[in-house]
Structure 1
Amino acid sequence: MRRVTRIALAGTATASLALALSACGGTSTSSSSSDSKGDKGLAIAYDVGGKGDQSFNDAAFEGLKKAKAEFKYETADVEPTDGETDADKTQRLVSLAKQGYNPVIGIGYAYGPAIKAAAEKYPDTTFGIVDDSTVTSKNVADLVFSEQEASYLAGVAAAKATKSDTVGFVGGVDVPLIHKFEAGFEQGVKDTKPGVKVLSQYLTQTAEEGGFSSPDKGKTAAEGQIEKKADVVYAAAGLSGQGVIEAAAANKVWAIGVDSDQYQQEALAKYKDSILTSATKNVASAVYNLAKSVEDGKPETGIVRGDLKTGEVGLADSNPEFKSDKAIQDAVKAAQEKIVSGKIKVKTS
């Protein structure tokens, strides 16, 4: 259920954002005030991997770009730092709120404690957090997705595409969020073709170990699954997923991307013919919609969920080979209709 409350825009503070952020991650882009309305709008703080991951963080940046273009205000996007603490994250968010940015969004569940602390300090600022539904502050929007539903469809596609009857799943970090991807994928595979074997591997136990930011780890994991005959490999691993895609391309098997439509990502162009599809979630839309709600004077708060029914998760069809495969398309369409209608309940763990 979406809860909405009215919160006034935060006032502009006088301290320098660049100086305030120097100790806890720099601003990667920020518009000049010369083309703004004289106030500050959306600010995002990236998850591990930062901008350029061709996935989760880049999707958030697309939402920021849309808000900046439409509302003509100043924006900021801030990179994480290696080995940072919750206190570092809190300082980053507080610095943005102090400067008058509104809303301020933490990209990724790791921002949970920091969002809660910053929201308490700045009750007149709207905060958002992507992929965390546990922050219950009155001025926080929990932007969450039913990733398991898109992953189920990825599993259907993988089961229809495999010739070896072995597919792989590579998770970035062994945490409940990524368990949702794995659970949905495996259920989709098994419901479609029960005899298919699913190989699963997590790269690290914690994000600090690089599970979401190490393409080399993703590549090694995928190569191991391919050696065991996996001919479709699905990665839910942020930046590490680029290594999975690279390994799939080198071994002429299919990769399934995640979060963004990775077939369309310029940095992955040389591998795109090996990207069968991507299980997408519209982080860009969630980020933009929160910014719009603040601009309209009716900030979203509470849990704001995107799923197959709302169209905010799904399966990309940019690859012509995927789009023209009638068997895959029919199977995916049938599965989607059953999930939306409630006939299929997708597991989250």
Structure 2
Amino acid sequence: MRRVSRIAVAGVATAALAVTVSACGSSSSESSSSSSSSSGTSKGIGLAYDVGGKGDQSFNDAAYAGLVKAEKDLGVSGRDVEPQDNESDADKVQRLETLARSGYNPVIGVGFAYAPAVKEAAAKFPKITFGIIDDNTITASNVADMVFHEEQSSYLAGVTAALTTKSNTVGFVGGVDVPLIHKFAAGFEQGVKDTKKGVTVKTQYLTQTPAQGGFASPDKGEAAADGQIEAGADVVFAAAGLSGQGVIKSAAAHKVWAIGVDSDQYNQAALAKYKPYILTSALKNVAGAVYDLSKSVIKDKKPLSGEIRGSLSNGAVGLADSNPTFKNNATLQAALAKAEAGIKDGTIKVKTS
């Protein structure tokens, strides 16, 4: 019997691996043996990255951190596979099917772009558990749809921006103009407006589709942030994957605040030189989602399925408090505690668009 469970918080750290090449994408790690997938048993965890790949210090790296923790705690190996430029849904299907055929279970697609591929592959391998992050459109007994209330953590980011800005202008940079990123934008703007009247929110999306590089182009993120900062923004929140690194770079160059996303970007080694300008990050526990699904298959033998949604109430979204400037601001922390309580008890209804 499959069961639906909420995502638990898992504290995990990101590490680096060397990259090799496989037939369906570049793979960072791979078990040395091969086995049939017909029994549904597992030789490890298969992870297929979204646009931008590993090293984005954000969304994909959060998924990788969950893989690393699962490998360590569950005593299994994993194989993580990079995306290719301009790939099709058929390429994604091949990638997932290769992982399933090789005996990896679960097989996880990182990002909503994997939805058609996960649906097709899951139908062909009914004894393998598939997971997809940031999509809940697949209804199948062997698929876990791992989604989040991103608008809730973004609301808190908006509260933070409103109480931090001195220019009364803040910015939002979204990677791609799609419903998922609209949730970040909507929550952020509402948090700003509810907290401090008269603050202007400048919003910009980098591209219309993922294929145009909105999640994978730091130069686009930097240019967008440059424009917003030159127009007066002194706090900029990015929900743009790898492109967000450019936003953070721009904020540091102009000596204003950046708010990161998905991972605690203040603590990402690759962003260390910018950390004095990373105020906080709007987190979602992608690492925990990967870990929990893997544990349910490999250790518990009760694979999760259906919609699994992370929220403030179950601890799967929130704000990072690594930066002492953020953590030790008593006025800000009191406002955030009040806002979080309001979201949890329903007195604050956060918009998603």
Q: Give yes or no for TM over 0.5.
A: yes
Partner in structure 1 of residue 129 of structure 2 = 126
CA distance in 2, matches of 1:331, 1:73: 43
Residue 214 of structure 1: aligned partner: 217
TM-superposed deviation, 1:22:
3.5
Equivalent residue number for residue 324 of structure 2: 320
1:315 is matched by which residue type in structure 2?
A: L
1:40 maps onto 2:71 in alignment: no
Shift of 1:247: 0.3
Q: Do the aligned partners of 1:39 and 1:74 also contact (CA within 8 Å) in 2? A: no
* Cα distance in 2 for residues equivalent to 1:276 and 1:72: 36
Deviation at 1:42, TM superposition (A): 1.1
Contact 1:154/1:256 (8 A) holds in 2: yes
Deviations 1:143-176 (A, max 9, x none): 0000000000000000000000000000000000
- 330, 347, 351: which one aligns with 1:347: 351
Find the residue that maps to 1:310 and give its secondary structure: coil
Q: Deviations over 1:115-170 (max 9, x none)?
A: 00000000000000000010111110000000000000000000000000000000
Aligned counterparts of 1:51 and 1:166: Cα–Cα separation in 2: 33
User: Does residue 1:83 correspond to 2:86, yes or no?
Assistant: yes
1:170-211: CA deviations, max 9, x gaps? 000000000000000000000000210000000000000100
CA shift, 1:28, in A, is 1.5
Percent same amino acid at aligned positions? 68
* Consecutive unaligned residues in structure 1, runs of 5 or more: 6-20
Partner of 1:26: 26
In the alignment, the residues of structure 2 paired with residue 285 and residue 205 of structure 1 have an alpha-carbon distance, to the nearest angstrom, of: 29
Task: Name the residue aligned to 1:17.
Answer: none
Aligned to 2:340, which of 336, 342, 345?
A: 336
Q: Is the counterpart of residue 300 in structure 1 residue 300 in structure 2?
A: no
User: 256-265 or 24-33: which moved more?
Assistant: 24-33
Q: Separation in 2 of the partners of 1:39 and 1:234?
A: 40
How many residue pairs were aligned?
Answer: 330
CA–CA separation in structure 2 for the residues paired with 1:39 and 1:299: 12
Equivalent AA in structure 2 for residue 313 of structure 1: V
C-alpha RMSD of matched pairs (Å): 1.5
Q: Does structure 1 retain, via aligned residues, the 8 Å contact 2:42–2:106? A: no
Counterpart secondary structure, 1:300? coil
| Alignment partners' CA distance in 2, 1:225 and 1:303 | 37
Residues in 1 aligned to 2:259 and 2:310: alpha-carbon distance in whole angstroms: 21
Aligned equivalents of 2:220, 2:244: Cα separation in 1: 9
Deviation at 1:70, TM superposition (A): 1.4
Asked if 2 retains the 8 angstrom alpha-carbon contact of 1:44 and 1:105, the reply is yes
1:158 partner SS: helix
Tell me the SS of whatever aligns to 2:312. Answer: coil
User: Contact 1:168–1:233 (CA<8 Å) still a contact in 2?
Assistant: yes
Give the Å deviation of 1:327.
1.4
Structure 2: any 5+ residue segments left out of the alignment? 6-20, 34-40
3-state DSSP of counterpart to 1:153:
helix
The two structures have a TM-score, normalised by structure 2, of: 0.91
Aligned mates of 2:164, 2:30 — CA distance in 1: 43
Q: Using the TM superposition, give the Cα deviation of residue 26 of structure 1 relative to its aligned residue in structure 2, in angstroms.
A: 2.1
Asked if the contact 1:167–1:231 (Cα under 8 Å) also holds between the matched residues in 2, the reply is yes
Matches of 1:127 and 1:159, distance apart in 2: 40
Which residue does the alignment assign to 1:11? none
TM-score, length basis structure 1: 0.92
Task: Find the counterpart in structure 2 of residue 8 from structure 1.
Answer: none
1:96 paired residue number? 99
SS in 1 for 2:138: coil
The structure 1 residue matched to 2:290, chosen from 283, 287, 290, is 287
Q: Partners of 1:321 and 1:22 in 2: how far apart?
A: 44
For residues 147 and 333 of structure 1, the distance between their equivalents in structure 2, rounded to whole angstroms, comes to 17
Q: Distance in 2 between matches of 1:130 and 1:96?
A: 17
By how many angstroms is 1:74 displaced?
2.1
Letter in 1 for 2:24: C
Q: Structure 1 residue 253 and structure 2 residue 263: aligned?
A: no
Summarize deviations over 1:219-251 as a string: whole Å, max 9, x none. Answer: 000000001100000000000000000000000
Q: Show structure 1 runs of 4+ deviating over 3 A.
A: 2-5
> 1:225 aligns to what?
228
Q: Give, in whole Å, the separation in 1 of the partners of 2:30 and 2:120.
A: 24
**SS of corresponding position for 1:128:** strand
Aligned amino acid, residue 27 of structure 1: S
In the alignment, the residues of structure 2 paired with residue 143 and residue 176 of structure 1 have an alpha-carbon distance, to the nearest angstrom, of: 16
Answer yes or no: is the 8 Å Cα contact 2:3–2:302 preserved in 1: no
Asked whether the equivalents of residues 216 and 240 of structure 1 are also in contact (C-alpha less than 8 Å), the reply is yes
Q: Say whether the 8 Å CA contact 1:32–1:74 is kept in structure 2.
A: no
Q: Aligned to 1:55, which of 55, 58, 62? A: 58
Inter-partner Cα distance in structure 1 for 2:250 and 2:234: 11
1:107 aligns with 2:100: no
Q: Is the 8 A contact 1:3 1:303 kept in 2?
A: no
Is 1:193 aligned to residue 196 of structure 2? yes
Query: Distance between the aligned counterparts of 1:43 and 1:22, measured in 2?
Result: 13
SS of the residue aligned with 1:171?
Answer: strand
Q: SS of the residue aligned with 1:26? A: strand
For residues 28 and 83 of structure 1, the distance between their equivalents in structure 2, rounded to whole angstroms, comes to: 20
